[in-house]
Amino acid sequence: MKTALSIFIILSSLFTFNAQANDDISAKAPNFTLATQVGKSISLADYQDKPVILHFWATWCPYCKKLQPTLVALKEKYENTGIEIVAISFNEDEGAKPQDSITQRGYQFITAVEGDNVAELYNVKGTPTTFFINRSGQIVFKSTSSNSTDPRLELAIKEIIKTK
């Protein structure tokens, strides 16, 4: 009985993933240019032809802190595919230092700051919101969950790392 239930849950997850992916896959990820905490320019165009996990977050968000280890682990698992995490910090408290927070958590990914306009461009309503963008620049999947065990996260990764 446990096996049947497990298979049902996995198949349900795949169906849900495919249904959501089909809704979002026609959307081209809008380009943006923002600055990092130290003033370096960062643009989605910098990651052309690479699979990208685009992660909208804030330093005060406990759900972001819960999800980020999973995103990093998935990036490391598929490191040989060229996958990148690009984070955008928005809706921050005054004086927040997002890159410092990422570094203190032991992560190496880059984060842009003051991303409120880009969050609006992507129709982001809250944190965390994570987009999975394939090598062609298409949004394949969008997650607004902090569920670090959601199997759709790895399914999205497997979809975006496919070669053109």
SS3 state at 140 = strand
Each domain of the chain, given as residue ranges in start order, spans 2-160
SS3 state at 23 = helix
The first and second tokens of residue 136, run together, are 């062609």
Calculate Rg over the CA atoms of the chain.
16
Residue-level length of the chain: 164
Distances (CA, A) of 116 to 8, 33, 91: 39, 12, 6
Q: How many alpha carbons fall within 13 Å on the CB side of residue 86? A: 27
- How many angstroms separate the CA atoms of 82 and 73, rounded? 14
Q: What is the pTM of this model?
A: 0.84
- How many angstroms separate the CA atoms of 54 and 142, rounded? 9
Superfamily in which the 2-160 domain is placed by CATH: Glutaredoxin (3.40.30.10)
Sort 85 into a burial class: Cβ within 10 Å, 0-12 / 13-18 / 19+. Answer: buried
- How many angstroms separate the CA atoms of 3 and 94, rounded? 50
Per residue of the chain (164 residues), what is the pLDDT tens digit?
544 434 344 434 444 444 344 444 458 999 999 999 999 999 999 999 999 999 999 999 999 999 999 999 999 999 999 999 999 999 999 999 999 999 999 999 999 999 999 999 999 999 999 999 999 999 999 999 999 999 999 999 999 999 87
Nearest residue to 37 (alpha-carbon basis) of 83, 104, 84 = 104
